[in-house]
């Protein structure tokens, strides 16, 4: 009888292990879903958008570049968006800048220019409050 009381007073090891395994499986499932979403977003890019993405990553090498619905988000170390870039194919090239919820949105159409991106980076750094 003493043996049974000892067993019932402690949570069963199997329950703890099952809980840990279930939690790990959920985290893995979410991670895989996020990876699949990233791959899907990358596959939806046109050839020019993919080239623009490579140039963004080279220019903003100190920041993370995230893709969502064919928009490129420049994220700071806290994963907060600093800027949004959009690239559109076309015959006439132009570049425009607007704001969305206080975040600068740069639209490039038929223009892939490292110089223009470097200018945008410098402007962002000037506008950003120093810590």
One domain, residues 57 and 120: yes
Q: Write the pLDDT tens digit of every residue in 13-26.
A: 555 555 555 555 55
Does the pTM surpass 0.85? The reply is: no
Residue 53 has pLDDT above 60, yes or no: yes
Nearest Cα residue to 100 out of 82, 88, 116: 82
Nearest Cα residue to 121 out of 60, 53, 55, 58: 60
pLDDT tier at 28, thresholds 50, 70, 90: low
pLDDT tier at 42, thresholds 50, 70, 90: confident
CA-based R_g, the chain, Å: 24
Nearest Cα residue to 57 out of 73, 80, 40, 78: 73
Q: Write the pLDDT tens digit of every residue in 75-107.
A: 999 999 999 999 999 889 999 999 999 999 999
Residue 44 has a pLDDT of: 78
One domain, residues 71 and 20: no
CB within 8 A of 62, min separation 6: which ones? none
Mean residue pLDDT across the chain: 80
One domain, residues 96 and 114: yes
The residue behind tokens 């699949």 is 36
Please tell me the least confidently modeled range out of 1-5, 104-108, 115-119: 1-5
One domain, residues 37 and 16: yes
> Could you tell me the residue range of the domain that residue 76 belongs to?
45-127
């Amino acid at each position: 009888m003493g043996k049974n009381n000892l067993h019932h007073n402690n949570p069963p090891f199997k329950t703890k292990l099952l809980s840990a395994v279930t939690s790990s499986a959920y985290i893995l499932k979410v991670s895989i879903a996020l990876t699949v979403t990233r791959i899907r977003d990358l596959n939806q890019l046109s050839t020019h958008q993919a080239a623009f993405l490579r140039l963004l990553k080279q220019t903003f090498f100190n920041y993370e570049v995230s893709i969502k619905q064919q928009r490129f988000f420049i994220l700071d170390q806290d994963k907060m968006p600093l800027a949004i870039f959009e690239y559109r194919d076309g015959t006439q090239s132009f570049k425009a800048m607007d704001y969305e919820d206080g975040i600068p949105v740069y639209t490039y159409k038929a223009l892939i220019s490292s110089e223009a991106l470097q200018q945008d980076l410098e402007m962002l750094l000037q506008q950003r409050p120093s810590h």
